[in-house]
Amino acid sequence: MRGYVITGDTTYLGPYQSARRTLSSRLAGLRGLTSDNPAQQRRLDSLETLVATRLERFQWTIDTRRTGGLAAAGRAMIGGRGKELIQQVHEVVTGMEDDEERLLAQRSATLQARARVARLAAWSGALLAIILAVVAGALITRELAGRRRAERTLGETQRRFQQMLASSTAVIYANAVSGATFSPTWVSENVTRITGYGPDEPLQPTWWLDNLHPDDRARVLAEMATEYRFRGKDGAYHWVHDEARLLRDAAGKPTEVVGSWVDITDRRRAEVSLRASEERLRLLVGSVRDYAIYMLDPEGHVRSWNVGARQIKGYTESEILGQHFSRFYTPEDVAAEKPAAALRAAVASGRFEEENWRLRKDGSRFWADVVITAVRDDRGALVGFAKVTRDLTERKRAEQALRASEEQLRQYATQLEAANKELEAFSYSVSHDLRAPLRSLDGFSQALLEDYHDRLDDTGRDFLQRVRAASQRMGTLIDDLLSLSRVTRGGLQVTEVNLSALATALAAELQRSDPQRDVRFAIAPDLVARGDPGLMRIVLQNLLGNAWKFTGKRSPARVEVGSMAHDGGRAFFVQDDGAGFDMAHAAKLFGAFQRLHASDEFPGSGIGLATVQRIIHRHGGQVWAEGTPGRGATFYFTL
Amino acid sequence: MHDRSILLVEDNPDDEALTRRALAKNNIQNEIILARDGAEALDWLFGTGPHTGRPAVPELVLLDLKLPKVDGLEVLRRIRANPNTRLLPVVILTSSREERDVVTGYGLGANSYIRKPVDFGQFVEAVRQLGLYWLVLNEPPPHPDAA
């Protein structure tokens, strides 16, 4: 109806038309049902009137819409008595309904009496149901309490488990397996502490593979290697040990991978360092050629072998491994059970050391320095012996040679000492006995000259003078020889010697011995040397004496004593402007009894410079000379 | 009592003759008692052996060192060890001037050490000086018996 008013479409009038057709027959039906009740019949009368009025209004509205359009029909609906009519209809219908309900109540009371028997039966059934319900309730309550307890226990276990995991260094994980793909489903919270990743990151499908070291990826995937490098959140790689287990369902199909995962970086580092150190030791021991270094098991069987061992003992590694070390001993040592004794000693005191003969593979003997050290494990149990052997044959030989040469040296020393004693005795004897005949020769020649002067002619007296001169020269020779031999005997008393003072004193002595000579000495001050003062005196005595002697034909003569730089040290010199010498004969100068001048020209024994040389050499110094005939000579010496 | 004698201990007859000649040339008239070796010298000094009860009491001993039987240094040692001869002037008159002889000689209490020169002229001069010194200038120690 309203649809038609708004749209003007007649199809909306369909329900209205059909309701209008059925209304009269429905009202007739109501009259039939309430025919036994006059009050209801009356109400039906007024209802029929009201309905007719309402229908008329509907028809008017439809007509208005058809002729006047929407605006007119809307006004007709709002302005008409529609509402009032519906209210009246409603009041009539409510009155009819109340009446009918009252009737129903009366009729129900009649029915209740009839149903009482049936109701009793029904109550019995209900009671049974209640009993059943109570029983069931009790059962359910008990079941619920059990479940709560179980839940509490489970919670406790879970709490403990969480604490354990949190404090553990092992990360626990689970992966679901579906075919060939794994997807992380759970990981323990300590993963954050250990790897630095947040709790959700490890559950990303590619987290594990992304952080697996690229170099380890192939190995881990192909060989199921359990140790690999894994990148932490900070970017640094850690070595981890991964133990995984594949869980299968009842049908044997893989369902889940669970595992644990430990950071072993420290252990790995220690292992690497240990391996490196072991490798270094192995290389070191392996390359040692001068020492046989090898291991024995507790029973004495060879367990390792190095180059040095091969070199010294002659066995190759394959020949000797597993052999008993007693084969290195000589048969007599084996018979004396020395190998076992050596091991016992090493066990008892930790270490056994000896030098003895050992056998090579070829049976030859070598002198060995052997050290056996007992090797024990952490708990002190004997695991074997480390054996270091050195071939000292050469040293032994050298020692023997040394001993032999020392013995020889001792013999030489003894001989030398004997020779020296002999020389000393000889000198002593010379000193005493050789001179006595000379004294007789001289003395009695003199006695002849004195007592028999008138019986001798000039020639006879001349001969006796020659005998005397010869005796005296011989006496001087003997004295010089003795002084030469004296400088080689006795120890050196080395102190600081003031050569300037010594030379000055000697020069004064020379001047006193022959005051007629005009010799000018130029002695440098502060000439200091380290030497034996007595021997230094003899050196200067000879050199100055020579200078004095060989300047005998020059007046005034000049003698200089000084020093100069020489070969990093100082050389002293005594220079004169006397007779000099030919350098061609320089080599002869220092030999005993060598003379470069005729003795009637410059007297002398030819021993003075030999004595000087011997003294200088005893001081570890050098002596040499330069000269020009007629221009003088210079004698140099170092100390 | 000093008998003003000189005990000459000398095994070499040549040296003995030359020494006597040198003494004579210097007009030293003292009696010369000769001992040919050390033992004889000690017998003379201590009145032992052939000289038992008659010890010589010389004014001076001229002692050679290299002697048969008992050598000169040993003689000197025993002279100095004996109270009767302890202060006796002893001049070592010998060929050698080996340092050890000189040192030992003085060490044992020699009063002088004179080396006999080869040149007889020098020897005469040496004897002159020692005679002058020991027999004329020097005041000898009192003889123990006289003390």
Q: Which residue of A has its CA nearest to B65?
A: A432
ipTM score assigned to the predicted complex: 0.83
- Pick from B15, B98, B99: CB nearest A439: B15
A 10 A CB-CB count for A11 gives 9
Q: Which residue of B has its CA nearest to A451?
A: B21
Lowest mean pLDDT among A301-305, A530-534, A604-608: A604-608
Asked whether residue A79 carries a pLDDT value surpassing 60, the answer given is no
Q: What DSSP designation does B134 have? A: I
- Pick from A427, A444, A472: CB nearest B118: A472
Asked whether residue A76 carries a pLDDT value surpassing 60, the answer given is no
Task: Report the percentage of chain A scoring pLDDT > 90.
Answer: 30
The answer for residues whose C-beta is within 8 angstroms of residue A29's C-beta and 6 or more apart is none
Q: Which residue has the higher pLDDT, A150 or A50?
A: A150
Q: Please check whether residue A196 is in contact with residue A233, taking contact to mean a CB–CB distance below 8 angstroms.
A: yes
Fold that domain A168-270 belongs to in CATH: Beta-Lactamase (3.30.450)
Would you give the distance in Å from CA A623 to the centre of its chain? 62
Asked whether residue A86 carries a pLDDT value surpassing 90, the answer given is no
Q: What DSSP designation does A530 have? A: E
**Local confidence band at A83 (pLDDT 50, 70, 90 cut-offs):** low
Domain spanning A288-391 has what CATH number? 3.30.450.20
- Pick from A427, A435, A442: CB nearest B120: A442
Q: Please check whether residue B123 is in contact with residue A443, taking contact to mean a CB–CB distance below 8 angstroms.
A: yes
Interchain pair B116, A435: CB under 8 A: yes
In chain A, residues with a C-beta closer than 8 Å to the C-beta of B120 are 439, 442-443, 445-447, 468
Interchain pair B118, A471: CB under 8 A: yes
Q: Which residue has the higher pLDDT, A56 or A231?
A: A231
Which residues are registered as beta bridge partners of A496?
Answer: A530
A 10 A CB-CB count for B81 gives 11
How far apart, in Å, do the first and last CA atoms of chain A sit?
A: 157
**A433 contact B CB<8A:** yes
What confidence score (pLDDT) does residue A81 get? 59
**B95 contact A CB<8A:** yes
In chain A, residues with a C-beta closer than 8 Å to the C-beta of B98 are 427-428, 431, 482
Strands A254-263 and A291-296: unpaired
Q: Please check whether residue A574 is in contact with residue A543, taking contact to mean a CB–CB distance below 8 angstroms.
A: yes
Extended strands (E) in A392-503: 495-498
What confidence score (pLDDT) does residue A427 get? 77
Compute the average pLDDT of residues A8-35: 74
**Local confidence band at B146 (pLDDT 50, 70, 90 cut-offs):** very low
**B96 contact A CB<8A:** yes
Fold that domain A491-637 belongs to in CATH: Heat Shock Protein 90 (3.30.565)
Interchain pair B95, A433: CB under 8 A: yes
- Site from B99, B100, B119, B123 to mutate, A interface, most A CB atoms within 10 angstroms: B119
Evaluate whether A168-270 and A288-391 have a shared fold: yes
Lowest mean pLDDT among A588-592, B78-82, B100-104: A588-592
Q: Which residue of B has its CA nearest to A425?
A: B98
Lowest mean pLDDT among A39-43, A229-233, A361-365, A473-477: A39-43
What confidence score (pLDDT) does residue A585 get? 80
Lowest mean pLDDT among A213-227, A379-393, A496-510: A213-227
**φ, ψ (nearest 5 deg) of residue A599:** -70, -20
Q: Which residue has the higher pLDDT, A95 or A514?
A: A514
Asked whether residue A358 carries a pLDDT value surpassing 50, the answer given is yes
**Domain locations in chain A as residue ranges:** 2-132, 168-270, 288-391, 395-490, 491-637
**A491 contact B CB<8A:** no
Span A325-353, pLDDT tens digits: 999 999 999 999 999 999 999 999 989 99
What confidence score (pLDDT) does residue B147 get? 39
Mean pLDDT over all residues of chain B? 88
Compute the average pLDDT of residues A253-262: 85
**B120 contact A CB<8A:** yes
d(C-alpha A8, C-alpha A70), whole Å: 7
Q: pTM score, two decimals?
A: 0.46
- Coil vs helix vs strand at A147: helix
Evaluate the omega torsion of the peptide bond into residue A556 and state whether it is cis, within 30 degrees of 0: yes
What confidence score (pLDDT) does residue A501 get? 94
What confidence score (pLDDT) does residue B1 get? 46
Which token pair is A222? 């192909």
**A472 contact B CB<8A:** yes
Asked whether residue A225 carries a pLDDT value surpassing 80, the answer given is no
Interchain pair B118, A475: CB under 8 A: yes
Extended strands (E) in B3-57: 6-9, 32-35
What confidence score (pLDDT) does residue A444 get? 94
Interchain pair B118, A474: CB under 8 A: yes
In chain B, residues with a C-beta closer than 8 Å to the C-beta of A440 are 14-15, 18
Q: Which residue of B has its CA nearest to A477?
A: B118
**A513 contact B CB<8A:** no
Provide DSSP, A170-198: EEEEEEEEETTEEEEEEE-THHHHHH---
d(C-alpha A294, C-alpha A325), whole Å: 10
Report angle CA A37, A43, A45 to the nearest 5 degrees: 105
Domains in chain B: ranges and CATH = 6-135 (3.40.50.2300)
Asked whether residue B34 carries a pLDDT value surpassing 60, the answer given is yes
What confidence score (pLDDT) does residue B88 get? 92
**B26 contact A CB<8A:** no
Interchain pair B18, A432: CB under 8 A: no
**A593 contact B CB<8A:** no
Exposure class string for B19-47: b at 16+ Cβ within 10 A, else e: bbbbbebbebeeebbbbbbbbbbbbbbbb
Lowest mean pLDDT among A43-57, A398-412, A540-554: A43-57
Distance from CA of A445 to the nearest CA of B (A): 9
Which token pair is A576? 């004169």
Mean pLDDT over all residues of chain A? 85
Asked whether residue A101 carries a pLDDT value surpassing 50, the answer given is yes
In chain A, residues with a C-beta closer than 8 Å to the C-beta of B123 are 439, 443
d(C-alpha A260, C-alpha A258), whole Å: 7
Place of tokens 């030992």: B104
**Local confidence band at A263 (pLDDT 50, 70, 90 cut-offs):** confident
**B66 contact A CB<8A:** yes
Interchain pair B66, A447: CB under 8 A: no
Interchain pair B15, A436: CB under 8 A: yes
Interchain pair A475, B65: CB under 8 A: no
**A9 contact B CB<8A:** no
Interchain pair B98, A440: CB under 8 A: no
**A534 contact B CB<8A:** no
Q: How many residues does chain A have?
A: 639
What confidence score (pLDDT) does residue A63 get? 78
**B104 contact A CB<8A:** no
